[in-house]
A and B are shown apart, each in its own frame.
Chain A
């Protein structure tokens, strides 16, 4: 087994020596033909004989208790097989492996609107849904906290994903500075809103549970499911070969999976449950609303002496996750005095959790606008201000950075975008009824290395199979794992098969936190290194002296087909990558720079993004095409979050007033401008064996702020209360 703590300085990367020229290439997705023909089957679409349908029952008040439930009419309705209520295991919402089960086992206590309390199981989806409407619930309501005041935090910097940062004497550094910036920003609730709602088909084979479920991890999910059902994880198999988007919302196990498992056991039939779109808003987690105070103090030349990023977020009771608002800010700019942390207000809201780029997505909407305002006040170009504050090492503790091409991203982005043609004076460029402006912002996303395993089999016919329980949630896992193995073993792409999305395969990190591709690629590369050593031994040479190319091993003036070296027997290796000492000895992140041009209607305040440019440092580019697509999607997500996305809770009832696509607006085709994307590739030897850093969450870090800064340049209006909708602009628009 190639078992390596990552990274070690002595490593010999099989990828660095490889010559197959597959890795990094813009190869079409290998699962593309299945996806464009409808041949790819998602969780709810798996065939199961005599499957029943479940419809989840949810409470219709926001706080109180359930006094009684009358399911008599539902139980006798046509097609109904069972109505399950009052089972302590039925979760209020999603389950996970880090919260205590009591956080989702709420029984008859009502913590938030829309929490689940039962399920109707019937022979058709229509029958289950109709019968669910017949269940009568008598409530004892109490006054809930539906409109939490984020200016009055209750819990000070509780332990969360990212520790608070307090270095230097912040107050002294801030108060004594030549220039001081101090402002408050608010960001609203964001939904992950994957196109495929949470869905599960559950069936039992004796005492073994098989779940086809829309989840971002398979093996990792078995632990949470085991806790929810009070059974052992090794009796659970999770299968998810195709997942219709995750964006963080499928990192936890959807309530429907647990309901389906219990219902399948009770009825003896396979049971299918999909959350309705409106249920997903309440049963799956959202990104917490935030209130962020940003303080920047500089000397007269614009060198930052103190940086403060102090936030308050809302979370429901008993949930551990705290939106890590300052995660990107921690290491982004210079400043010896730092004060960064997150306080919490508890609310009767559905659970808040990790949504695409937790921390950076909402944090950059504040700090990257604050940087723009500070630069202007100091009379500096926003890029020059950032350049002056580019730290050479971590400003927190002096740890070295891994590859950090942030300044190069600014420069290349500025060149491609035409930043030098910008008029920095706000509201000075006009085309008819449209006010034109440009803006920029930095992008940062912490890079995380996570333990991952992969098995590789090199078959006697010279083809390879890579197996890991990773998922492909649209991220391109099928394709990039093929590329890593083809590159490392010198095989053509059609010779490599990728088996993922099944918890019976070797345990990976799953998809989340942008660590999936780099972690699973590292495990695969390590396994390939083992196989290369075996082949080299058969060639009678050191692995370092052998080249694998086009199905041949080349060394010592010999070129031997792999089929000959294998001599009828498969070679198998297990790769196991995990964080090591070096992981904690340096600061790893992906970086980038966004540039945006907007047009704002001088009459209505309508904002149209006309074009964007983004330049990024993601370490090694595993597939130029899929990496670009992930960034593209992130940047457009940024447009949606700065202009449209706003999850609203009714302050009287605690109910989401816009829990579907009709009222919660994500970016559409018409909102998406031409976008120029460029990578500054630098293999990050410190990050991991693959030399790759996270991509999926980088694109939406900072993208919205670039648009906000462009709106200011177009209109002279700063809006700190997101999203920037036209009603917030219209009264302040410049006169003709």
Chain B
């Protein structure tokens, strides 16, 4: 099978039981996506599939031959950080770092959802533009757990980037 990940084509022959997460981590050496629960409960495995954020532990690799997949490795590199990644570093939006790739992929997808006007549970209205208040960011990021609880610093980092985009 062929997979397109971060713009690169990969050949792989995964077991039909292999999750997208395990394809990335165990077959392709893309270990930036993390396995925290393997149950879709923690968000550490969040990647972007065709621009939308998903828990890669809850989807099978064989379902994604024709998809454009973006992982943390495709967002930036240590020598060339994406703006959101440097904001995480500046605001200390992590401690142990294990949930961090998922938080960043999730935030990337979330910023796009907000730009498209998708409402959340705390949105005032189902229509119109979304102003990313702290409450909106917290609500929309609550699928990504962080036991170190860097949450307020993560919100600071996302708010800074959301402000630049606006």
Contact = CB atoms under 8 A, between A and B. Distances in A.
Contacts of B137: 669
B101 A668 contact: no
A674 B42 CA distance: 22
Interface string B69-92: 001110111110100011011101
Nearest to A638: B149
Given A629-B150, A666-B145, A36 B94 contact: yes
The listed residue with most A CB atoms (<10 A of its CB), out of B41, B94, B97, B154, is B97
Given A37-B77, A126-B17, A195-B99, A672 B149 contact: yes
A39 B29 CA distance: 11
Interface string B10-43: 0000010110001001100111111111110110
Interface string A656-691: 000011100011111010110000000000000000
Interface string A35-50: 1111111101101000
Given A473-B96, A668-B142, A660 B37 contact: yes
17 contacts: A32-B92, A33-B79, A36-B100, A37-B78, A37-B81, A126-B15, A194-B96, A277-B37, A277-B39, A629-B95, A629-B150, A629-B153, A630-B95, A635-B149, A636-B151, A661-B41, A670-B142
A277 B34 CA distance: 13
Interface string A43-80: 01101000000000000000000000000000000000
A493 B71 CA distance: 31
B5 interface: no
Q: Determine the main DSSP class of B at the interface with A.
A: loop
Contacts of B101: 36-38
A277 B89 contact: no
B139 interface: yes
Given A33-B89, A625-B92, A40 B149 contact: no
B78 A125 contact: no
A307 interface: no
Given A33-B85, A126-B15, A632-B152, 15 more contacts: A33-B81, A36-B100, A37-B81, A38-B71, A38-B73, A44-B25, A195-B42, A195-B99, A277-B38, A475-B95, A632-B150, A637-B149, A667-B149, A669-B137, A672-B138
Contacts of B96: 194-196, 242-246, 473-474
Contacts of A28: 89-90, 92
Contacts of A276: 38
A117 to B, nearest CB: 22
B92 A196 contact: no
A130 interface: yes
A29 B92 contact: yes
Nearest to A668: B142
A474 B138 contact: no
B54 interface: no
B126 interface: no
Given A38-B31, A633-B149, A660-B39, A669 B94 contact: no
Interface in B108-166: 134, 137-139, 141-142, 144-155
Interface of A: 28-29, 31-42, 44-45, 47, 124-127, 130, 193-197, 242-247, 274, 276-277, 473-476, 625-626, 628-630, 632-637, 640, 660-662, 666-670, 672, 674-675
B62 interface: no
Contact of B36 (A41, A196, A247, A670): A196
Contact of A193 (B29, B35, B147): B147
B104 interface: yes
A699 B97 CA distance: 19
A125 B26 contact: yes
A197 B104 contact: no
Contacts of A475: 95
B72 A38 contact: yes
B154 A669 contact: yes
B92 A629 contact: yes
A245 B149 CA distance: 11
A670 B39 CA distance: 20
A37 B32 contact: yes
Given A39-B78, A196-B98, A126 B72 contact: no
A53 to B, nearest CB: 8
A195 B41 contact: no
Nearest to B36: A195
B150 A36 contact: no
B152 A674 contact: yes
Contacts of B81: 33, 36-37
B44 interface: yes
The listed residue with most B CB atoms (<10 A of its CB), out of A196, A243, A244, A474, is A244
A242 B142 contact: no
Contacts of A245: 95-96, 98, 147-148
The listed residue with most B CB atoms (<10 A of its CB), out of A44, A126, A473, A637, is A126
A29 B89 contact: yes
A36 B88 contact: yes
B147 A194 contact: yes
A670 B138 contact: yes
Nearest to B135: A670
Contacts of A196: 34, 36, 96, 98
Contact of A672 (B37, B100, B147, B152): B152
Contacts of B38: 276-277
B10 to A, nearest CB: 16
A205 B79 CA distance: 34
Contacts of A197: 35-37
The listed residue with most B CB atoms (<10 A of its CB), out of A196, A476, A667, is A196
Contacts of B138: 669-670, 672
B95 A474 contact: yes
Contacts of A662: 39, 41
Contacts of B36: 195-197, 244, 277, 661
A467 to B, nearest CB: 22
B160 to A, nearest CB: 14
